Structures are given as C-alpha cells and as structure tokens.
Amino acid sequence: MMARWKCGHCAFLAWADDRDAMREVTGSHLLAHAPDAVTRSDFRTNWDCPYCATAKTAYDADGAVDEFKTHLHEHVADRIVDGAHVADRFDWNGTVRIDAPVDSDGADALRAHFHGHADLVIAVTPDPERFVRLLDDRLDAWPRRTVVVSTEEYPFDDEDEIGVDDGSIEMVEIDPRLGPDELGETISRIIDVNHAAGDVLSLEVSVFHEIVSSFDVRTACAFVRMLSARIGDSGGALQLYVDGDADPNVSTVMNFLDDEVDLGITPADGRFIRRS
Ligand SMILES: [Zn+2]
Ligand SMILES: [Zn+2]
C-alpha cells in the first residue's frame, strides 16, 4: 500500500511509497502554486510562506528552496493518507490507463502494485517469462491464481527457481492470428473458470500497441469496451499499458476511449501521478 496526497488547490493527486517519499512531491507541487513566494535580492534568496507568517533569507539558494519545500510539506502533512491503493479510486471495479512504455520501471511498479493486492491475476503480455519473473521478484506472495496469456511460449514449470507451486500459475499460449474478438472471448472464459466469489481481480493488458497496429481503430475500441463491460460484471481492475508518445495511433484510440477509462496514471520516479 502507499501514501496518497491530493492537492487542496487543484486536481493533482499522487501516490508515493510512504510519507517520506511524498515530501518531495508535496513540496515541489505547492511551490509551483506559489511562484512569487521565492525572490532573490542582494545575492540572497528569500522565501515568504503564503500560508503562515514564516519568512527566511539565505545565501544558499538551493538550500533555501529545499527548506521552503519542507516547510510547505509540513502544512499539508496531515492530509496525506496512509494505506492507500490506486484502485481505491474506483473501488476495484474499473479501467485504468497507465501512460508508460510496457517494459519500463514505472509500468513494473504499477504491475506489482495492482497484482500484489489481487487474488486472481490475468495478464496478456508479449513476454511471459519477464512477467513471471517480475511477480516472483516483487510480490511478497503469489496471488491465489495467475493466468498468463501470450503468443509466446514459456514453459515456466521447467524453472525451478520460481518460488511458486505450478498449480497456481497457468500459461495460456494463443495463436498470433487471433483477432481482438477471440482474445476478448478467451479472457472472458478465463475469468469464468478462475474467478471465485470474493476474489479481487487484476487484469493487465500489455499488448494494446500490437492490437492497435494490427487492427483498425474501431476494432481496438470495441476490444477495450468489451473488456470494460466484462470487468463491470465480475468486478476488478483492468489495466491498459499505453505509451501514446511512442505511437500516435494508440493516442488516438485512447481519446475515443476516454469514457471507458476511470483513471489515468503516469508513473515517475517510483511515484504515481493522476493524469486524468
Ligand atoms: Zn495543486
Ligand atoms: Zn508556512
């Protein structure tokens, strides 16, 4: 779980590992709201807090700004919420867009964050071995059930260093010629077979770029709408990993899907920032 802070001046919302890690987020953000609070004169840097009567002057410009950020942080420290999960924002029943390259550290941090709190994890991934090793590495314990869907083969049961009983992971190898309809149906069936009452479901789709590049906009949109509706039935968090900067077509499709997305997140330096 993480620490969460929402700015009282704007819609900014952020998650960080803990209160300490949040200090830099709050300080920098509040500083941006008060651009006139820091001034320079006579080789010195002055700051004048907009929230209280505190003001300081120092020769060390960086030190002064750091001190001001820490001071600003103290004004909001009691508004930081502990034990927060990103999926609390939509009660673990919705679709989240994660703006990051699928194989980036930021994407991995969100995978661990979501899958680490689920009983049933389903991942549609281009690289099943990387996925299994990531979960094995990052999670304190494996979910009750993990189903990895990929066009790539990965006989993980040959890998004795993976710390999980074979029975709790299933590899589903799909034909690369499958269209989004059939892939959606496959995922839906996997949910049917594996979802037990009360299970928290975490469904990751890390092949959205491939779907968009292989099919038209309408087909890619229909795929996400179908999965969103399916998630709506059973409850769960659908994560779409998208990197709009890398592919303008993906960006276009995501614009069409704005209504389907409950939360947009950008990971940065171990922190998660709400994008929409
Ligand atoms: Zn703000
Ligand atoms: Zn103050």
pLDDT tens-digit series, residues 228-270: 999 988 899 999 999 988 899 999 999 999 999 999 999 988 8
Structural contact between residues 170 and 182, judged by C-beta atoms closer than 8 angstroms? no
Q: What is the pLDDT of residues 174-225, one digit of tens each?
A: 998 889 999 999 999 999 999 999 999 999 999 999 999 999 899 999 999 9
Q: What is the pLDDT of residues 131-163, one digit of tens each?
A: 999 999 999 999 999 999 999 988 776 566 777
Prediction pTM value: 0.91
Phi, psi of 55 (to 5 degrees): -145, 145
- Domains along the sequence of the chain with CATH: 2-82 (no CATH), 86-274 (3.40.50.300)
Q: Which H or E run includes 134?
A: helix 128-138
Residues linked to residue 94 through DSSP beta bridges, in sequence order: 237
Measure the CA–CA gap between 252 and 242, rounded to whole angstroms: 11
Find the 212 Cα to ligand 1 centroid distance in Å.
34
Q: Which ligand is nearest to the CA of 49?
A: 2
Query: What Å distances lie between residue 144 and 114, 119, 201, CA to CA?
Result: 14, 5, 11
Using pLDDT thresholds of 50, 70 and 90, give the confidence band for residue 167: confident
Find the 32 Cα to ligand 1 centroid distance in Å.
8
Tokens of 141: 């314990």
Residues with CB under 5 A from ligand 2 (ion): 49, 51-52, 54
Query: What Å distances lie between residue 238 and 71, 79, 201, 247, CA to CA?
Result: 38, 28, 8, 21
Find the 35 Cα to ligand 2 centroid distance in Å.
15
